[in-house]
Amino acid sequence: ETGVTQTPRHLVMGMTNKKSLKCEQHLGHNAMYWYKQSAKKPLELMFVYNFKEQTENNSVPSRFSPECPNSSHLFLHLHTLQPEDSALYLCASSPAGSGGGGRDTQYFGPGTRLTVL
């Protein structure tokens, strides 16, 4: 138990559906991250938030829409996804945030396994 929770753990959706992934951290951290982990590919950073402000968008398609209402919660809104978007989506948090630099350490949640039909 890392102090980062993700819901749901599994999600199956059609290409026309709209769904949201939720991440919550109980560590008092200031930065939160979304990663995509596909089979046979390295972990890909998608978005970074520092103190609720988005500081990084790693050329992610607009069908993925993040939201960070406060430093403890992070959402990933999904709409009109493609089958190639099927992956494990991991949330992470860290104390200082990537914008703050320095010796930061990320703590990961268990992930949401997304399947797009």
Partner 1 sequence: AQSVTQPDIHITVSEGASLELRCNYSYGATPYLFWYVQSPGQGLQLLLKYFSGDTLVQGIKGFEAEFKRSQSSFNLRKPSVHWSDAAEYFCAVAPNTNAGKSTFGDGTTLTVKP
Interacting residues with partner 1 (CB under 8 A): 2, 4, 6, 31, 33, 40-43, 45, 48, 56, 90, 92, 94, 96-111, 113
- Closest of 58, 90, 61, 96 to residue 74, by C-alpha: 90
Give the nearer residue to partner 1 in terms of CB position, either 31 or 68: 31
Shortest gap between Cβ of 28 and partner 1 (angstroms)? 16
What is the smallest separation between the CB atom of 72 and partner 1, expressed in angstroms? 17
Residue 91 CB, nearest approach to partner 1 (Å)? 8
Task: Name the burial class of residue 110, with classes exposed (0-12), middle (13-18) and buried (19+) by CB atoms within 10 angstroms of its CB.
Answer: middle
**64-70 vs 18-25, strand pairing mode:** unpaired
- The β-bridge partners of 66 are 76
